Amino acid sequence: MPTAMADIWKGLGFGRRPWYRQTMSGNHDKGASPKAAAPCGIPDGSEARSPLRVPPGGRGYQARLATVALAAGLCLASDLAFAGDYYLRGGIGLDRRVTTAFTDTDCSSATPAALYGCGTGGDGARLRSAGDFGTAPSVELGLGYETGAVRFEVLAEYRPDFSFEGRANYLAPERRQEVSADLTSVSGMLAGFVDLAALELLQPGPFAPFIGAGIGAVHTRIGQTTMTFPATTTIVPGGSRTGLAWMATAGVAVALAKRVSLDLAWRYTDLGEVRTPRGPGRVVWRDGSREPIPLDIAPTKARLKSHGVRLSLRYTF
């Protein structure tokens, strides 16, 4: 079955049919597939009604779990007052991305051609480009409403410049096959925070611990992906995608003045999938000895997750 790998393989100098094509054309192991109410229900002090339920497993399970954890915190705020204050929060952050890999959305695609295919690479693993998105800065702005032990916030976050750095596995591990791409992302979430000190659950001196979670949408843009081999460079087109995003956080707040506080928090963020779209790519001989080979490449995908810290100032009106 033809894939973009065939042309990439030609660019690597292999004239005859490569071993992975034999695997993809019918010599799979037998049986193998080519394809890869109210949140609390206690408004008046009566017994709880039906609790929130999150089925184990399935897509979005972690996001739902984070939302339920937040809802449980909100339920603990039984002394919640309905008179509150608005606030504005601005901050900066630094994220360390979790290791990930770009793979085909459909490794068996023939038209357009899958970039990687369904075979195994020179390291014995599934064909892919493995690496990470590095360490990236972020800036954020939140407008919120604080009432009792609970804060609600509309949060926007911008990650201006980060990149994917990794390696493909078409060849043996010691061969050159670097992969790189630049990205930016903008996310918007509806978040909630619970002040544990106000609930008298934790009161460590001047620090006010809090936990929180949020869910919303993210728009991620990826530039062209460059795959560098010993003699050739393969160019994969860039694109953008909007999808689901969510986060979970825990931190402490310190009062600096009557209306100003400093927040320091750890945050886990899941920005969903980064995708390269279907589009025209090419294989280029860096010495110019041959004409570039055009490619019609199928989409690829990778998960974008991170752990990081946030430092922000909160001003209450």
CATH of the domain at 149: 2.40.160.20
**Angstrom distance (rounded) from CA 193 to CA 183:** 29
How long a stretch of residues is the chain?
317
Residue with structure tokens 């790519």? Answer: 281
The two tokens of residue 159 are 């990650």
β-sheet bridge partners, residue 192: 152, 213
Name the helix (H) or strand (E) containing 19. helix 19-24
Is 22 exposed, middle or buried (CB count within 10 Å of its CB: 0-12, 13-18, 19+)? exposed
Give the residue from 5, 58, 24, 63 showing the smallest Cα distance to 215.
63
pLDDT at position 255: 93
Q: What is the pLDDT of residues 233-281, one digit of tens each?
A: 999 999 999 999 999 999 999 999 999 999 999 999 999 999 999 999 9
Kindly report the number of other CB atoms within 10 A of residue 42's CB atom: 13
Is 312 exposed, middle or buried (CB count within 10 Å of its CB: 0-12, 13-18, 19+)? buried
Residue 182 reports pLDDT greater than 70: yes
pTM: 0.73
Residue 161 reports pLDDT greater than 60: yes
Residue 223 reports pLDDT greater than 50: yes
**Angstrom distance (rounded) from CA 178 to CA 156:** 33
pLDDT at position 62: 53
**Angstrom distance (rounded) from CA 128 to CA 117:** 9
The two tokens of residue 263 are 């927040």
pLDDT at position 206: 87
- Considering the chain, what is the average pLDDT of its residues? 81
Name the helix (H) or strand (E) containing 175. none
Check: CB of residue 213 under 8 Å from CB of residue 69: yes
DSSP state of 67: H
**Angstrom distance (rounded) from CA 71 to CA 69:** 5
Q: How many domains does the chain have?
A: 1
Q: For the chain, report the end-to-end CA distance as a whole number of angstroms.
A: 64
The two tokens of residue 278 are 């279907």
Q: Tell me what percent of the residues of the chain surpass a pLDDT of 70.
A: 73
Q: Which letter, b or e, does each residue of 147-158 get, where b requires 16 or more Cβ atoms within 10 Å of its Cβ?
A: ebbbbbbebebe
Q: CA–CA distance from 280 to each of 165, 170, 226, 276, 285 (Å)? A: 22, 21, 13, 11, 17
pLDDT at position 201: 75
Query: Of the given ranges (41-55, 85-99, 152-166, 260-274), which has the lowest mean pLDDT?
Result: 41-55
Q: Which domain holds residue 304?
A: 4-79+86-316
